[in-house]
């Protein structure tokens, strides 16, 4: 697999990474831990060297899973994890907490669960409105100096926050949802990253599964599937939004590819510093996603996709109101 570099960090990763969240939560049905460890091994064997996790996934179980899985080839892969949530006595994540002393506490836990001496890429999972981003960046800068972290990242951060953090500690990557299903980052985030030399790491690059072409208008999601709480996936909104997937499917048919491959190839061609991290638990899907790296989209195809997605009237927000409250849109 071809590789890309995360911002100015010098960290080299596979051009398509693997989001590991779904191995521990958010999708139904649950999967066997041993199967997922073997799956991560298969991903590595096929060239994936960038694995994304977070302490909140599970919580904690996903870091433990990834840590055990990558142990045999730790020095050959890049691990990204995240801090930023409070945890109650029951272990459930609550509101944001990025106080310096709390960051240090969370990092020590992540190091143990991941079985590593250094976290390659440490994201602030969500921007904490109660803690200046300069303090957060300064804390991570100290952790980098101590050898516990290699590079600093932000997730769902606004342009102003990114600028302020980058001035204290260079930001290697910003994680944000980005796909043919959600192009909002192009308005402010992408220009900011291009200006500062920061990589974009799109999560949900396949529209939470919609762009695979396997989601149907009459599909229902169990309470354990987080899409049951996503407005864009409500029955009426999903039915209104799937015609966009039909357009992607038509382009894929002409190319002898799948809708997922077209969607990922589209992301890869947007900029050489964009590294999508599609999540999957299936070897067939993994191989399909990796194949997107070899798919060439013509100028005409790109123009049609651009026009179709810009003109499409999507229905429903991408998050619930409670989840939206955790996103930073700061532009100053």
Is 285 within 8 Å of 263 (Cβ atoms)?
no
| 3-class SS of residue 267 | helix
Burial (CB count <10 Å: 0-12, 13-18, 19+), residue 206: buried
Closest CA to 162 of 151, 148, 173: 173
Q: Using omega within 30 degrees of 0 as the cis cutoff, is the peptide bond preceding 59 cis?
A: yes
How distant is the alpha carbon of residue 186 from its chain centre? 16
Residue 57: active-site member: yes
Distance CA 148, CA 116 (A): 9
Could you say which of 57, 102, 123, 178 is catalytic? 57
User: Which region holds residue 234: left if phi is over 0, alpha if psi is between -120 and 50, else beta?
Assistant: beta
Q: How many CA atoms lie within 13 A of 4 on its CB side?
A: 24
The residues annotated with a catalytic role in the active site are 57
């Amino acid at each position: 697999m071809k590789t890309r570099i995360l911002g100015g960090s010098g960290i080299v990763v596979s051009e398509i990474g693997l989001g590991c969240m779904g191995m521990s939560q958010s999708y139904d049905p649950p999967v066997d831990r041993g199967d997922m460890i073997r799956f991560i091994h298969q991903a590595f064997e096929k060239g994936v060297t960038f694995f994304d996790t977070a302490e909140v996934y599970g919580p904690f179980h996903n870091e433990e899973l990834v840590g055990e899985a990558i142990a045999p080839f730790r020095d050959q892969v890049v691990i990204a994890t995240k801090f930023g949530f409070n945890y109650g006595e029951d272990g459930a994540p609550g509101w944001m907490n990025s106080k310096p002393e709390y960051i240090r506490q969370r990092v020590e836990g992540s190091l143990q669960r991941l079985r590593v001496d250094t976290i390659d890429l440490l994201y602030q999972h969500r921007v904490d409105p109660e803690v200046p981003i300069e303090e957060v960046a300064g804390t991570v800068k100290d952790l980098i100096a101590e050898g516990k972290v290699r590079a600093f990242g932000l997730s769902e951060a606004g342009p102003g926050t990114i600028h302020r953090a980058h001035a204290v500690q260079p930001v290697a990557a910003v994680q944000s949802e980005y796909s043919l299903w959600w192009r909002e980052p192009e308005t402010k985030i992408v220009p900011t990253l291009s200006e500062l030399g920061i990589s974009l790491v799109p999560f949900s690059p396949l529209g939470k599964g919609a762009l695979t072409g396997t989601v149907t208008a009459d599909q229902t999601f169990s309470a354990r599937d987080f899409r049951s709480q996503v407005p864009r996936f409500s029955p009426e909104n999903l039915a209104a939004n799937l015609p966009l997937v039909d357009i992607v499917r038509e382009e894929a048919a002409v190319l002898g590819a799948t809708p997922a491959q077209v969607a990922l190839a589209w992301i890869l061609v947007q900029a050489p510093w964009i590294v999508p991290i599609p999540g999957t638990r299936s070897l067939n899907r993994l191989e399909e996603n990796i194949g997107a790296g070899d798919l060439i989209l013509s100028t005409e195809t790109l123009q049609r996709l651009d026009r179709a997605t810009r003109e499409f009237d999507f229905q429903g927000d991408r998050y619930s109101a409670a989840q939206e409250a955790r996103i930073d849109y700061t532009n100053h």
